[in-house]
Structure 1
Amino acid sequence: MLSPRSLAIIGMSAREGTAGHMVLRNFLANEFAGPIHLVGRTAGEIEGLPIVTDIAALPEGIDTAVLALPANGVAEALSACAAKKVGAAVVFASGFAELGEEARAEQARIGEQVRESGPAVVGPNCIGYSNYIDGFTVGFTNVAKIPRVAPDRRDAVAIVAQSGGLAGHLRLGLIARGVPVSYNISTGNEMDLCIADFVDHLLDDAATQVVLVYAETIRQPQAFLAAARRARQMGKPILMLQPGRSAQAQAATQSHTGAMAGDYAVMRAYVEREGVVLVETMDELLDTCELLARYPKPSAGGLGVVTFSGAYCAIAHDFCEDIGVALPPLSDATAEALKPQMPPNIEPHNPLDLGTQPIWQPELLGVGVKALLNDPAMGGVAISIAAGAPAKSMAWLEQVVEAGRGRDKPLALTFLGDTSPLAEPILQTARDNGIVLMRSSDRMLRAMGHMIARADTERLSDTSDEPFLDLPDLPDGALPEWRGKAYLAAAGISTPKGGLVQSVDEAIKLADRIGYPVVLKAQAGALAHKTEAGGVILNLRDAQAVRAAWETVLANVQRAQPGLVLDGVLVEAMVGKGVELVIGAKRDPEWGPVLLIGLGGVFVELFHDVCLLPADASKAEIVEAFGGLKAAKLLQGFRNAPPADLDAAAEIAHRIGQLMLQQPAISEIDVNPLMVHPRGQGATALDALIVTA
Structure 2
Amino acid sequence: MDKLDAIFSPRSVAVVGASASPGKVGHDIFANILKGGYKGILYPVNPKAKSILSVRAYPSVRDIPDSIDLAMIILPPALALKAVEDAVEKGVKGVVIVSAGFREVGAEGRAVEDRIVDMCRKAGVRLVGPNCLGVINPLANVSLNGSFSARMPKAGNISFISQSGALCTSVLDFAADRDFGFSKFISIGNKADVDELDLLRYFHQDMDTEVIMIYLEELRRGPEFIEEVKKITSGDRPTPILAIKSGKTSAGAEAAASHTGALAGSEAVYDAIFEQSGIIRVDSINDLFDFASTFAYKNESMLGKFRRKIPDGNRVAIVTNAGGPGIVATDMTVSSGLQLAEFSDETIEALASHLPAAANLHNPVDVIGDAAQDRYENALAAVIRDENVDGALVILTPQSMTNALGTAEAIVKIARRTHKPILCCFMGIVDVSTGAKFLQENGVPVFRFPESAARAFGTLYRYSQWMNRHHLAPFKLKHDVAGAKKIIADCLKQGKDKLGELDGLNLLKCYGFSTLPTELAKSDAEAVKIADKMEYPVVMKIVSPQILHKSDAGGVKVGMKNADEVKAAFNEIVQNAKNYSPDADIHGVLLQQMAASGKEVILGSNRYPVFGPLIMFGFGGIFVEVFKDVAFRLAPIGRNEARRMSKKIKGYKLLRAFRGQPECDTETIEKLLVCLSDMVMNHPEIQELDINPLLVHEKGQGATVADCRMILKAEDAPETAAK
Aligned match of 2:235: 233
Which residue number in structure 2 is paired with residue 470 of structure 1?
480
Match of 1:121, as an amino acid? Answer: L
Alignment of 1:505-516 (within 5 A): 505-516=525-536
- Asked if the contact 1:504/1:550 (under 8 Å) is kept, the reply is yes
1:299·1:452 contact (CA, 8 Å) conserved in 2?
A: yes
Residues 162, 214 of structure 2: 8 Å contact kept: yes
Is contact 1:325–1:449 with CA below 8 Å preserved after alignment? yes
Q: Distance in 2 between matches of 1:535 and 1:319?
A: 48
- Structure 1 pair 310/42, CA: closer, same or farther in 2 (3 Å)? closer
Q: Partners of 2:645 and 2:452 in 1: how far apart?
A: 26
CA contact (8 A) 2:293 2:445 kept: yes
Q: Name the SS for the 1:466 alignment partner.
A: coil
Alpha-carbon separation, structure 1, partners of 2:503 and 2:250: 39
Encode CA deviations 1:605-652: one digit per residue, 9 max, x unaligned.
222221223546565765565554344565457787666554443443
1:299 pairs with 2:311: yes
Once residues 193 and 399 of structure 2 are traced to their aligned partners in structure 1, the CA distance between those partners, rounded to angstroms, is: 54
Structure 2 segments unaligned to the other structure (5+ residues):
1-6, 254-263, 299-307, 716-723
Change (3 A) 1:176 1:432: farther
Match of 1:398 among 409, 433, 437: 409
**Residues 248 and 289 of structure 1: is their aligned pair in 2 closer, same or farther, counting only changes over 3 Å?**
farther
Contact 2:470 2:640 in 1 (8 A): no
Deviation at 1:367, TM superposition (A): 2.9
2:449 partner letter? S
What CA distance in whole angstroms lies between the structure 2 residues aligned with 1:311 and 1:646? 43
| TM-score, normalised by the number of residues in structure 2 | 0.81
Partner of 1:254: none
Report what 2:165 is aligned to.
164
Task: Pick closer, same or farther for the CA change 1:307–1:249 going to 2, 3 Å.
Answer: farther
Q: Aligned to 1:413, what secondary structure does the other structure show?
A: strand
Distance 2:99 2:83 in 1: 12
CA shift digits 1:517-549 (9 cap, x unpaired):
212223355653334445433332211222233
- Corresponding residue number in structure 2 for 1:380: 391
Within the alignment, does 1:590 sit opposite 2:610 as a pair? yes
| Paired residues for 1:209-220 under 5 Å | 209-220=210-221
Q: State the alpha-carbon separation in 2 of the partners of residues 449 and 584 from structure 1.
A: 31
Q: Which amino acid aligns with 1:305?
A: I
C-alpha spacing 1:28/1:420, structure 2 compared with 1 (3 Å): closer
Q: In structure 2, which of residues 84, 87, 98 is the aligned counterpart of residue 78 of structure 1? A: 84
**CA separation in 2, counterparts of 1:194 and 1:535?**
50
**CA shift for structure 1 position 75:** 3.4
Question: Hey, what's the Cα distance between the residues in 1 that align with 2:606 and 2:432?
Answer: 56
Q: Does 1:267 align with 2:267?
A: no
Deviates more, 1:17-26 or 1:521-530: 521-530
368-377 vs 241-250, which deviates more? 241-250
Query: What does the per-residue CA deviation read over 1:321-352, in whole Å, with 9 as the maximum and x for residues that have no partner?
Result: 33333334335664565555554476744x33
The residue type paired with residue 40 of structure 1 is: N
Aligned to 1:135: 142
| Cα distance between partner residues in 2 of 1:249 and 1:555 | 37
C-alpha displacement at 1:273, in angstroms? 3.0
* Residue identity opposite 1:274 in structure 2: S
Where does residue 192 of structure 2 map in the other structure? Answer: 191
TM-score when normalising by structure 1: 0.85
Distance change in 2, residues 1:449/1:142 (3 Å): closer
**What secondary structure does 2:333 align onto?**
helix
Helix, strand or coil for the counterpart of 1:139? strand
- Paired position in structure 2 for 1:289: 292
Moved more, 528-537 or 442-451: 528-537
Decide which moves more: 445-454 or 475-484: 475-484
Aligned to 1:442: 451
Question: Is 1:365 the equivalent of 2:372?
Answer: no
Mapped partners of 1:94, 1:377: distance in 2: 57
- CA distance in 2 between counterparts of 1:140 and 1:390 reads 48
Residues 306 and 681 of structure 1: CA distance in aligned 2, closer, same or farther (over 3 Å): farther
Contact (CA 8 Å) 1:61, 1:87: kept in 2 or not? no
Structure 2 letter corresponding to 1:601: G
How far apart in 2 are the matches of 1:16 and 1:376? Answer: 63
Amino acid at match of 1:388: Q
> 2:480·2:510 contact (CA, 8 Å) conserved in 1?
yes
1:487 corresponds to 2:507:
yes
Q: Distance in 1 between matches of 2:543 and 2:251?
A: 40
Cα gap change, 1:537/1:591 in structure 2, threshold over 3 Å: closer, same or farther? same
Partner of 1:324: 337
Distance 1:530 1:161 in 2: 47
d(CA) in 2 for partners of 1:262, 1:91: 33
Matched AA of 1:582:
I
Give the direction of change, closer, same or farther, for the CA distance of 1:372–1:171 in structure 2 (3 Å limit). Answer: farther
- Using the alignment, how far apart are the partners of 2:22 and 2:177 within structure 1? 32
What residue is the counterpart of 1:120 in the other structure? 126
Q: Shift of the alpha carbon at 1:292?
A: 0.3
1:554 offset after TM fit, Å? 4.3
For the pair 1:431 / 2:440, whether they are aligned, the reply is yes
Q: Trace 1:596-607 onto structure 2 (pairs within 5 A).
A: 596-607=616-627
Distance in 2 (alpha carbons) for counterparts of 1:228 and 1:51? 46
Alpha-carbon distance change, 326 to 108 in structure 1, aligned in 2, over 3 angstroms: farther
1:50-61, aligned counterparts within 5 Å?
Answer: 50-54=56-60, 57=63
Shift of the 117–524 alpha-carbon distance from structure 1 to 2, 3 Å rule, reads farther
Please say if residues 334 and 371 of structure 1, whose CA atoms lie closer than 8 Å, have aligned partners that are also in contact: yes
Distance of aligned partners of 1:332 and 1:584 in 2 relative to their CA distance in 1, 3 Å threshold: farther
Q: Does the 8 Å CA contact 2:690/2:708 hold for their aligned counterparts?
A: yes
Shift of 1:285: 0.7
The alpha-carbon distance between structure 1 residues 116 and 644, as it changes in their structure 2 partners (threshold 3 A), is: same
- Code of the aligned partner of 1:466: K
Describe the SS at the equivalent of 2:311. Answer: coil
Following TM superposition, by how much is the alpha carbon of 1:143 offset from its aligned partner in structure 2, in angstroms? Answer: 5.4
Q: CA deviation at 1:66?
A: 1.4
Relative to 1, partners in 2 of residues 1:118 and 1:680: Cα closer, same or farther, differing over 3 Å?
closer
Tell me the percent identity: 28
Do residues 580 (structure 1) and 580 (structure 2) align?
no
1:505–1:561 distance in 2 versus 1, CA, 3 Å: same
2:627, 2:248 → 1: CA distance?
A: 17
Q: Is the 8 Å Cα contact of residues 272 and 632 (structure 2) preserved in structure 1?
A: yes
Task: Determine the C-alpha separation between the residues in 2 that align with 1:467 and 1:250.
Answer: 33
SS of the equivalent of 2:507 reads: helix
After superposition, the Cα gap between the structure-2 partners of 1:528 and 1:445, relative to the gap in structure 1 and judged at 3 Å, is: same
Partner of 2:679: 659
Is the Cα–Cα contact under 8 Å of residues 38 and 50 in structure 1 kept in the other structure? yes
Report how far residue 174 of structure 1 moved. 4.9
Question: What does 1:523-672 align with in structure 2 at a 5 Å threshold?
Answer: 523=543, 527-557=547-577, 569-615=589-635, 622=642, 625-632=645-652, 634-635=654-655, 644-661=664-681, 666-672=686-692
**Would the aligned equivalents of 1:499 and 1:570 in 2 still touch at CA under 8 Å?**
yes
Match of 1:455 among 451, 455, 464: 464
- Provide Cα deviations, 1:550-586, integer angstroms capped at 9, x if missing partner: 3444455566666766665421122344432222234
2:8 match: secondary structure? coil
Q: 1:84 offset after TM fit, Å?
A: 4.0
State the alpha-carbon separation in 2 of the partners of residues 538 and 130 from structure 1.
66
CA distance in 2, matches of 1:262, 1:515: 41
Equivalent-residue separation in structure 2 for 1:82 and 1:59 (angstroms) = 15
Counterpart in 2 of 1:3? 9
- Report the AA paired with residue 242 of structure 2: M
For 1:32 and 1:394, locate their aligned partners in 2 and report how far apart those are by CA, in whole Å: 37
Structure 1 gaps, min length 5: 150-154, 252-260
Question: Residues 218 and 224 of structure 1 are in contact (CA less than 8 Å); yes or no, is this contact kept in structure 2?
Answer: no
Instruction: Give me the whole-angstrom Cα distance separating, in 2, the residues matched to 1:100 and 1:408.
Output: 55
